[in-house]
Amino acid sequence: MLKQALAQNGLIAILRGVRPDEAKAVGQVLYDAGFRVIEVPLNSPDPYTSIRTLRDSLPADCLIGAGTVLTPEQVEQVKAAGGQVIVMPHSDAKVLRAAKAAGLYLSPGVATPTEAFAALAEGADVLKLFPAEQMGPAVIKAWLAVLPQGTLLLPVGGINPDNMQVFTDAGAKGFGLGSGLFKPGMTVDQVASRAQAYVAAWKALSRD
């Protein structure tokens, strides 16, 4: 289902710092804009409550996940809260195995081909290329030449509507969007405006 959601819209919303009392409204404007994967990093305030709120308030075709997952114990807490996707900044095999054992989708962070191959061997569904600012489109093109055909590589970090094309030209099939989309203190209207701008840029790329 994760790959189907990303095929519909390759943008993942990363709500670092979102509060439980605003999660429902922020999630709704993201869904209305076209987002179908929403992630709450675990270093946000009371993240498990926000994950549960999003899962309970949004349709089933929107996957809810957790980011900055660092331990197998956190994997279990995410699952208990209704989370369906485990997103990591790294590629710790213990966390990868815990996520697969829990039946959750998995998007580990990778910064080298060695990490990418190891993560795929552990059952990663998509690979998070992080930080994208450091790696650049040339890295994506080089990696995809050797990774298994069909590997989904999603740049995360510093992505904005104006620089997405250079990454998709290199073979990226989607993006994780953090502070360019949501920052603590933003109003719901501000998030909605940014979400619409990102989705418009994505749709324009998809038509090319």
DSSP assignment of 98-133: HHHHTT-EEE-EESSHHHHHHHHHTT-SSEEE--HH
Residue type, 26: V
Q: Which of 39, 79, 122, 173 is catalytic?
A: 39
Between CA 16 and CA 200 the distance in angstroms is: 22
- The CA angle 60-49-174, to the nearest 5 degrees, is 50
Q: Is 128 a catalytic residue?
A: yes
Instruction: Say how many residues make up the chain.
Output: 208
Residue 183 is a catalytic residue: no
Residue 103 backbone class (left: φ over 0; alpha: ψ -120 to 50; beta: rest): left
Please tell me which residue in 22, 79, 122, 128 is annotated as part of the active site: 128
- Burial class of residue 194, CB neighbours in 10 A (0-12, 13-18, 19+): buried
Active site residues: 39, 128
